[in-house]
Amino acid sequence: MRENLHRFFRAARGAGVRISPSESMDAMRAVADVGFYDRSVLRDTFLVTLAKSQEEKRLLSDCFDVFFDHPELTQPLADGDPDASDEQQEGSEAGQTEGAPGAPSSGLGQLAQTLLSQDRAEMEAAISNAANAASLSDIRFFTQRGIFSSRILDLLGIQQLRDDLEQLAQTNPSEAERLAAATEALRENVRDRVSQALLLYGREETENLRNEILKNAPLSQLDRRQVEQMRALIRVMARRLRERYSRPRKRQRRGHLDVRRTIRRNAAWGGVPFLTTWKRRHRDRPKIVAICDVSGSVAKVSDFFLLLIYSLHEVVSDVRSFAFSGHLVDVSDILDSKTPEAAMADIMSLVGLGSSDYGKSLADFEAKWMRHVTPQTTVIVLGDARTNNLNPRADILRRISERSKRVVWLNPEGRMIWGMGDSEMPRYATYCSVVRQCSTARQLERAISDIVASYQ
């Protein structure tokens, strides 16, 4: 029982249910009380002890159905089936031995006798035991299906079964035909069992592999299906940033021992250090200004930029966010008050998909919001720096750089085309502390993580 429960917990984690060691121990104690006999009670027990939300209840319920409902065994025509030929019926009866009702000819191996007797319970137990012996729960990728199917068949005794087939083909052709059909059904049953195990245990690895490929894929070249997957991946990245950096710091964080001040403080006790003094490193409060290009030239990546900016609002308390195409607007209140999907829709309807004018947008920022830039502020610009041959107003970016702690520019285009056509990236880069290519989700996550980590 314990081993089966451990496999179920691993399958549930792969399905997306977060299960801690203490929760798994609680579930095991509960299952020991209710038992395995009533499946509905067992399901409710897992839902109560493991699921922490409606979504996790749904995932856990689906995983339960797949884990505990084994694929139904498929078999060839059974004895007495009206569609079976009289010759098959006579061969089956002729092959039975006295004192062993329903048993095939003597001298056959155990697997052949089980297949010919069509004992479903015995066949199910044999496949389950062989699957456990083959460590089927270790399957991770679809390319391993053939390997595990062969292992299970070898443990069942497929080689002896082949020898029995050759023997019956010479002595009892009708029974050999029945055994050949049963063998094919056995292979199909084993393939179904392996496919079920892959669905249970390989989902997490398959999803991790897909996400790893997706993280390194250019954002501008994703198809419609991949865009939805990327949005989900960006949300996971945002949650990871939030969990990593939004934890409250301790008010008193010890640094290095300040020896001189400690000695002076303990002069009254003859220099015995009853009271210690520590050197503490000053940390600035995070203050970020994010300026995001949502024009038509970056339409395929602007959604992901906005999602990352949305995550900054959840991680850092002092963030001012702006979006622009032809002019600049403050979108901080939208990002603070609405869900990511609603916020992105409002921002794109307000200012998105227009013709980009970096010079006009920078002038808007200088005229209305320059006061938000202080020596503690990190200014993040997300855009391709393509100005449509309009005045880039790099002088404004220079003044922003002089007032701020640093300016970070994240560009979705490759470095090879910076400065080509209407790109003013080389001119803007002169006044930036950090310039990065951010054409993939991995590059975006690393850039945002480094910015937030600089304040820790």
Percent of the chain as helix, strand, coil, to the nearest 5: 60, 10, 30
* Top-ranked range on mean pLDDT: pick from 117-126, 181-190, 284-293, 363-372: 363-372
CA dist 435 and 412 (Å) reads: 11
Burial class, 242, CB count within 10 angstroms (exposed 0-12 / middle 13-18 / buried 19+): middle
The two three-digit tokens of residue 419, written as one number: 């400065």
**pLDDT grade for 91, boundaries at 50, 70 and 90:** very low
Q: In this predicted structure, what is the pLDDT of residue 291?
A: 92
In tens, the pLDDT along 7-34 reads: 788 778 777 788 888 888 888 888 888 8
Q: Which residue has the higher pLDDT, 388 or 143?
A: 388
Phi/psi at 379 (5° precision)? -100, 120
178 closest CA partner among 98, 97, 108, 99: 108
Residue 292's Cβ-count burial label (10 Å; 0-12, 13-18, 19+) is buried
Average pLDDT, the chain: 80
pLDDT at 217: 79
The CATH code of domain 287-454 reads 3.40.50.410
378-437 pLDDT tens trace: 899 989 999 999 999 999 999 999 999 899 999 988 889 999 999 999 999 999 999 998
Q: Could you read off the pLDDT of 107-137 as tens digits, one per residue? A: 788 888 888 888 888 888 888 888 888 888 8
> Of all residues in the chain, what percent carry a pLDDT higher than 90?
15
pLDDT tens digits, 309-328: 777 776 677 888 999 998 99
Amino acid of residue 409? W
pLDDT in tens, 326-362: 899 999 888 888 887 788 888 888 888 888 899 999 9
* pLDDT tier for residue 80 given thresholds of 50, 70 and 90: very low
Better-predicted residue by pLDDT, 245 or 233? 233
Percent of the chain clearing pLDDT 70 (strictly above): 84
Q: Which residue has the higher pLDDT, 187 or 69?
A: 187
User: What is the helix (H) or strand (E) element at residue 241, kind and residue range?
Assistant: helix 224-245
